[in-house]
Structure formats: structure tokens, C-alpha cells
Amino acid sequence: MGFKQHGFDHVGMAGRQRLRALALPFGHGAGRQGCAKGPEALMVAGLCAALDARGSEIETFALPPDVSHQQLAHPNPALKSLALVRAVTKVIGERAFEASADTRPVFVGGDHAIAAGTLPAMARRAEVLGRPLFVLWLDAHPDFHTLDTTSSGNLHGVPLAYATGQQGFAGYYPALDCPVDPARVCLLGIRSVDPAESRLLMRSAVRLHTMDTVRTAGIDRLIKPFLQQVRQANGLLHVSFDADCLDPALAPAVGTPVPGGLSLHEARRLMDLLCASGLVSSLDLVEYNPDLDEQGRTARVLVNLVGRLFDPVFAACAHAAA
């Protein structure tokens, strides 16, 4: 594994845990290549400065080289890179758990397949601390396919189903020590759900807010009760931020754009409320594809939003307005 000395040491409102970024340049879970370049491009675009860089490390993962050519048989012939995704999921899970011992980790992807490693790791950390883990999933898609139901075979579409203990992953993905409780998962920004995912979601306890609901109810009415639930339970909050939760007119550099996503105003309000809550204990930032960007426009939007999430100035302003 390689290391780059960028890093930061930021004190958040949720305590005196510093942030640590782990760059995860993995793109084999997506149908379109390019996300593996995302972490480096986001650093160039100012992500470290947005997180108030002060001299710690950004750790960059190298892919396990000995499994990239291997095949793992599965009844679903559509599955792509299953052996590699399994190996990377295990490595990410181990390192993510270690990083969460004394820092608030920021996992910079890469595609959303990395969440198959980060979510179980954060659930395991919460278990060690004797606290429940809550997950805010910001995405155009629920990523709630199983290995059996995905027709595209792209494994960035399965991590939330896996992490919440849905059936069909045993023997293919690492065994889960601590599945995420679906009742503690909130999906927001959803606007593209496959029929198989819909059936699984209807049988689960996850709460799902489509963009139609966001436009009808507003960000505050949807997020404040969820944050209050986290606070009352003394929970940890993992935010999994897929760039395609944003409207493509705002952030076009994603492989699976869906019209009608979060506006800049809605996204900023969401980040301000999360920051003011002081509850965010870890973050995924995924699915940015610099090959599709227009002069870095999407990167700048993402850097700005993540900066707001961890900026105490914005937090104080949002708290005063809440």
C-alpha cells in the first residue's frame, strides 16, 4: 500500500476526533471505468484544503495484485470482477475498522462498491463502542441488489443489500460480523429503483425518501427527525455520499446520471444540517468520474459540499438557523 503526505487534523463538533482520509481508487464495481481516478482528482481540486489540512496522512490503497485475474463462479453469469471485489472488500473493511479507532474516517472513492467494506467496518466499530450505527445513504439508486438479482452485474449496485445482511452473499463476500440494522438506514435522493430492488426494499425496514418526497416535504422535515433518532440513541452516523445524488446539471461527472437530483441549495442545506448536528462519524465520497467532468466542475461542487459538512463556521450558522 502506498501513502501520500497530504492529510489534515480537524476538530469537529462531535468531539475531538480528527479526520483521516483514506483514498480508495477502486473502479471495478462500476460499469464505466474512470472512478478509480476520483480520489487523486478530488485532492487536486482542493479536498484537503476543504477539510482544513494540517499535516496528517492521506492513505492510498493499492489493489490486491494476486486476485485481479481470478474468477469466482456464481450462478449469475452477469457478475463482473467478483473475486476482485471480494478481496478488496476484505482489505477495505480491515483498514477502515483500524482507521476508525481514533479518527473520523473519510473514505474517498472510487465507486460505491467500496461501501461493502466501509459499512460493515463502521458497524463493527459501533459494536465495539457499544453504540448503534445509523447510515444516511445519499444516492440516485438504493444499491440494494443482491448477487442473484443484479442484471448488469456491476457490483457497485449491491453494497447496501450486503451490509444490511440480505441473503445471497454467503460464500462470495466476507462474512458479516455486525450487519447494519436496516431500521437505522435512511436513503435520500432516490429516483431510480429496479423492480427486484423494490421488492427487497418493501420487505425491509429501511426508510426511503425519493426526490419526489424531498421536493414535497423539504430537506429539513426529512432529515431532522432522523438526526434526532441518532442523537437519542447515542448513535454513530455514517454518511455514504454518491455524487449521483446530485442533479446531473450540477454534477455531470458520474457514470449513472439520473435527472432530477438534489439542487445546490438542497445539497448545501443538507450538509449544513449534518455539520450542525455534530453526529457524522464517518463518510464515503464515491462515484466521481473525472473522465466525464467538464473542466473540474463536478469536483469543485463535491469539494465545496464536503467542506461544508465538516466546517464549524457553516455548522454554527446552520445551527443558529435550525
pTM reported for the whole predicted model: 0.92
What's the number of CA atoms in the CB half-sphere (13 Å) around residue 194?
Answer: 12
Instruction: Quote the CA–CA distance of 256 and 243 in Å, as a whole number.
Output: 10
Q: Is the pLDDT of residue 62 over 90?
A: no
Query: What does the domain layout of the chain look like in residue ranges?
Result: 2-321
Which residue has cell 462519524? 281
As a whole-number percent, the residues of the chain with pLDDT over 90 amount to 80
How far, in Å, CA of 52 to CA of 71, rounded? 42
Tell me what the pLDDT averaged over the chain comes to: 90
Task: Write out pLDDT tens, residues 160-176.
Answer: 999 999 999 999 999 99
Q: Is 2-321 a domain of CATH 3.30.70.3270?
A: no
Amino acid identity for residue 239 in this structure: V
For residues 116 and 89, what is the distance between their CA atoms, to the nearest angstrom?
A: 6
Q: What is the pLDDT of residues 18-54, one digit of tens each?
A: 888 999 999 999 999 999 999 999 999 999 878 764 4
Q: Lowest-pLDDT range, 181-185, 231-235, 308-312?
A: 308-312
